[in-house]
């Protein structure tokens, strides 16, 4: 059985969403980020990214990771591509060309969007969004996202999904990267096709199921 290591309030969320979309059984090991604990190595500390038992799974001390049989994998977006290729179904590629496009858009999101969306979410996590430095960080991140969002806006002209005529892992991966920047509503209002597409992605039952579990975890 698939084992997913990581809490839902982390990049593991996108792996849990993928598992829900695929309808596959999995075991969740709620590894928490060590930075959220005063003493992650205390004897009574919950399992976290610095716990020896997790370091044995991922020496980089980051979540998520998975174990699927004898296979151990890290990096959330790569994990998602692996899961859909293994299990198939409508969110996977139907052809080698579609597989290539799923990979391309995933790497595009990682390279062109995630560095900026992460800066935004970290600013909010640290409660710096109303400071001058925080506002400047968010402003730079939003300006840096305008070109890639314009590309996605144009790509979504006359289509509802990124690859093919259906929701795929490309939509899921890009949507999860963009979720970290959704606090900046003006940025999405300026790209109405992207905004509508993101709402379609986040109205899916599998996404809502993932978020239902995520909402029950401590902030």
Residues 146 and 112 in one domain: yes
The answer to whether residues 101 and 196 belong to one domain is yes
Q: Give the CATH number of the domain where residue 14 resides.
A: 3.40.30.10
- Residue 212 domain flag: no
Residues 186, 107 share a domain: yes
Q: To the nearest whole percent, how much of the chain has pLDDT over 90?
A: 100
3-state secondary structure 159-171: CCCCCCCCCCHHH
pTM, 2 dp: 0.97
Q: What is the mean pLDDT of residues 199-213?
A: 98
Confidence of residue 219 (pLDDT cuts 50, 70, 90): confident
Output the furthest CA–CA distance in the chain (Å, rounded): 57
| Domain range enclosing 59 | 2-88
pLDDT, tens only, 29-82: 999 999 999 999 999 999 999 999 999 999 999 999 999 999 999 999 999 999
* 7 and 53 assigned to the same domain: yes
Contact 171, 201 (CB under 8 A): yes
| Number of domains into which the chain is organized | 2
Judge if 83 and 121 occupy the same domain: no
Say yes or no: 78 and 167 in one domain: no
**Quick one: 106 and 196 in the same domain?**
yes
């Amino acid at each position: 059985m698939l084992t997913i290591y990581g809490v839902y309030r982390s990049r593991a969320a996108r792996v849990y969403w993928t598992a829900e979309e695929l309808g596959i059984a999995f075991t969740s090991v709620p590894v928490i980020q060590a930075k959220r604990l005063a003493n992650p190595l205390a004897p009574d500390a919950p399992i976290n990214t610095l716990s020896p038992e997790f370091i044995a799974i991922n020496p980089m001390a980051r979540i998520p990771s998975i174990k699927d049989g004898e296979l151990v994998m890290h990096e959330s977006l790569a994990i998602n591509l692996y899961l859909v290729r293994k299990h198939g179904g409508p969110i996977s590629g139907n052809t080698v060309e579609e597989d290539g496009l799923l990979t391309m858009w995933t790497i595009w999101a990682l390279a062109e969007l995630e560095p900026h969306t992460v800066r935004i979410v970290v600013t909010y996590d640290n409660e710096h969004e109303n400071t001058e430095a925080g506002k400047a960080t968010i402003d730079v991140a939003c300006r840096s996202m305008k070109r890639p969002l314009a590309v996605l806006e144009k790509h979504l002209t006359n289509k509802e999904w990124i690859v093919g005529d259906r929701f795929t892992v490309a939509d899921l991966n890009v949507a999860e990267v963009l979720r970290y920047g959704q606090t900046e509503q003006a940025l999405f209002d300026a790209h109405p096709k992207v905004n509508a597409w993101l709402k379609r992605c986040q109205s899916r039952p599998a996404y809502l199921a993932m978020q239902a579990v995520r909402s029950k975890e401590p902030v």
